[in-house]
Structure 1
């Protein structure tokens, strides 16, 4: 009995021990869950700080101090993380940025994958350390407020380690599209620009891509074409090359010599000089930047020459002598008039509502205007200069002459006048010829012109009919239909029906732009499926890449001496967050934490194995 009792008691004690053990395990689980919960809250707090720092362009090295400040301010969630773990998180700022960037990317890529087509824009740029990068962008059509809008998103950045070749650029793009799970066959438009890329390299990239993507249309940014035309026209005129160097030397001499009345000019010249050094190496858009410097020199001519003459410097005196000539003054006033007109055109090309239908009309109007200004000397700047000249200025009996201008004696004479007018005339002839060559229609441009004719309500019916065959040939190149003849006939019939449908729209729903007509086609997709597809492709084509300059600004802000250790992936993540990240209240930090935790767990598992 005692034995049984002993055994029974032993059993009771064992059960009691089991209960104690279960309670202990439950308590441990609760403690662990509480720790995990605190760690999760702390990590989300750090994610918020990392996000804030990225949006505000704050260096990664300041995030630790920001975390400590939050703890000192009484943020209990961050306080739940032990100091050793906090240090570990601070050493993994890039991991947090990667998780945030992935969440930001997901929404963009989801839209792109659901789109019928997209365009890719590539721009080559150098950072402050003269290292070349390829910046890639994605353009898609989004349904916004009852309409359709083309939206451009930053996609990726790739550092070019060696010599830039078409094969490497193509390979980088193909890899990025594969990495982002984007179907390359849906790419309908492609634009590539960059100062370090030759025309041969760009054309080779386009050729390689077209071999893989039927129906791909290549576009050269209209703003870049305009800028390159101005550069080409000026660089073939020796005096204008010297003129740029003179402005550069004036800036160098005056930047550290503040004088009353010169502050505005110095600011303009300083902003100009920051683009690059020396002037002859300034970026291809430099002549549109020089415009402001030319106007500043004209406005402050008298005071500037006085500063140079009184500088007790051979360089300053030499610059003053160069500027005190009729040739310099005539070219300055002429350039101010011409560059002002080209600047207006460039700004028009960079507006958000620009489309192919107004590219050539705007160009033609500007060329007509500048030719008229040159032939009649009716530009405001040049007209004011000529009005200030003495009456007998060009007396044929005088081989050399001079006149007073803003209290300074200006060297003049028939030779000065002849050389000045010849310089301006040559520049304008070169500019007109180069613009005509760069804006002439290639095969792709002819296709886009035909698409514009179909969708532009300003085109007459007979003009539209002339372009139907070109559009039909383009659509046929996209089709997998075995019976091409039947498909082409169907396309022509649908195009004609759509054009009649557009003309029948009541006045209350008047269509005033090609974008309006494209939106109508997209809304009537069931009735006009082929035209709707064509409209989407037309809207998504990248006309200009000039609005991508914001990315380069962020790159230069990030790639400073403090940020020179940033990896290419970190640079990409920071640009993506700063550009496309929503307001901090709207960002999904729970999703970012899940990605970060999953990545961390996978890495730990790999280390164990």
Structure 2
């Protein structure tokens, strides 16, 4: 238990509950364990909760994309006919994608398909002679100005958040990259809020507005739209983006510093641009949090004692020296692991306490990618066609899949020889 230093979870109450959560029981036995809410799950919650706050986004826009997928999923003929229409209009021949409720970032693929093939989808529905109520609803939603406007807003926002989510899903995620990546995404969000991003200006260029009898007629790609309400559409955009920004800032607070986020200061990214006074104070608050937590004995549940991992006074002295050594030696600071590998190779005896903190930082699970990969691997192997696999065999196959060599690197001859020697097999007697 003393070797466990952190627990990464998806934030479910079963894992993080104060009374009966897994994290609580681990901290009872090993008080230096840090509980971390996976950054990828946190980001996913930001977008899904923001969508729930805006009725049009959660109930109309997302539902339209979902209904569209299931409409084509049930018929290969419809898919083939849509492909023909796409070919005639020179649209990309891509299939309609699904929006997963539990994985809101799956919306990007669905958004991209609808944005690129909107004309084909509209023409397909229009050419149906006897449309069902569902098809009439799809046609109405597709030609609603609010839908078109929201589609462009989403194309400005969701790809940026999807890219950030992919960054957070890296197995070797650098702890010092999290906050800068979030801030970069927030700046894109503010740009979309002002309407000066990439896709919203494109909408204005493609939109043709005409006034007829005190009514504004809007056309997009030559197709007439109904329910033109520019102000109402912008209100929906502002409400959604403000909610999204608020959620991100709450779940990734810049001012708040915890044990897990304090490790980021050890990346020493910005010390080259600091004045002498700022250099002295750089990382002081974060290092104080780390030294107080890991530099003192901690008791869990009244009986378990976890000894201090570092010396508090020694760590503070080392931190003051380290900043100047890194500047003088001009060590590259674009990668946390490489930086501390260099420090360990050349200054191991000078910074024993900081090297201990660096080792802790490198194994802190900022995300739950490893176990999510395990779930996916298990589902791919233990599928309906192989549902009688025993636990031992499943575990072996998962181990080979996750940790084994690639197919082109595997030594099949050696594996065959080993298999041949294990049991006296009849096939080799012949």
CA contact (8 A) 1:261 1:300 kept: no
Q: Which has the larger radius of gyration?
A: 1
Contact 1:454 1:499 in 2 (8 A): no
Residue equivalent to 2:221: 406
Partner of 2:251: 438
CA contact (8 A) 1:191 1:221 kept: yes
Written as runs of structure 1 = structure 2, the 5 A alignment for 1:256-275 is 256=75, 257=78, 258=80, 259=82, 260-262=84-86, 267-269=94-96, 272-273=97-98
Provide the residue aligned with 1:350 in structure 2: 169
SS in structure 1 at match of 2:227: strand
Q: Taking structure 1 as reference, are residues 249 and 512 closer, same or farther at Cα in structure 2, changes over 3 Å only?
A: closer
Alpha-carbon distance, 1:576 to partner = 0.9
Question: Cα RMSD (Å) of the superposition?
Answer: 3.6
Summarize the Cα distance change of 1:351–1:561 in structure 2 as closer, same or farther, 3 Å threshold: closer
- Which of 321, 341, 347 is matched with 1:519 structurally? 341
Task: From 523, 532, 535, give the equivalent of 2:358.
Answer: 535
Give, in whole Å, the separation in 2 of the partners of 1:343 and 1:361.
Answer: 16
Q: Is the 8 A contact 2:15 2:23 kept in 1?
A: no
2:237 counterpart of 1:419: no
Q: Which runs of 5+ in 2 are unaligned?
A: 300-304, 424-430
**CA distance in structure 1 between the partners assigned to 2:419 and 2:296 by the alignment:** 46
Residues 113-512 of structure 1: pairs in structure 2 closer than 5 A: 184-193=1-10, 200=17, 204-241=21-58, 242-255=60-73, 256=75, 257=78, 258=80, 259=82, 260-262=84-86, 267-269=94-96, 272-273=97-98, 282-286=100-104, 288-311=105-128, 312-314=130-132, 315-351=134-170, 354-375=173-194, 377-392=195-210, 398=214, 400-413=215-228, 416-440=229-253, 446-459=258-271, 460=274, 461=279, 462-477=281-296, 487-505=311-329, 507=330, 509-512=331-334
1:86 matched residue in structure 2: none
Question: CA deviation digits over 1:190-238, x for unaligned, max 9?
Answer: 1112889686489922122111113212222222211111111112211
Name the stretch that deviates more: 424-433 or 458-467: 458-467
TM-score w.r.t. length of structure 1: 0.58
Contact 1:191 1:220 in 2 (8 A): yes
8 Å Cα contact 2:85/2:123 also seen in 1? no
Structure 2 distance, partners of 1:490, 1:297, is 59
How many aligned positions are there?
394
Residue 405 (structure 1) shift: 2.4
Shift of 1:522: 2.9
Residue 327 of structure 1, CA deviation: 0.8
**Structure 1 residues 327, 500: CA separation in 2 closer, same or farther (over 3 Å shift)?**
same
Q: Give the Cα separation in 2 of the matches to 1:514 and 1:482.
A: 27
Q: Name the SS of the counterpart of 1:495 in structure 2.
A: helix
Residues 550 and 470 (structure 1 numbering): CA distance in 2 closer, same or farther, change over 3 Å?
closer
SS in 1 for 2:185: helix
CA drift of 1:253 comes to 2.2
- CA deviation after TM superposition for structure 1 residue 356, in Å: 2.1
SS of the residue corresponding to residue 409 of structure 1 reads: strand
**Cα-to-partner distance string for 1:269-317 (whole Å, 9 max, x where unaligned):** 2xx32xxxxx5xx25332x221221222122212211211233231212
Q: Which moved more, 1:557-566 or 1:321-330?
A: 557-566
- 1:525 is displaced (CA, Å) by 3.0
What is the CA distance between 1:547 and its match in structure 2? Answer: 6.0
1:455–1:514 CA contact under 8 A, matched in 2: yes
Instruction: Give the structure 2 partner of residue 545 of structure 1.
Output: 368
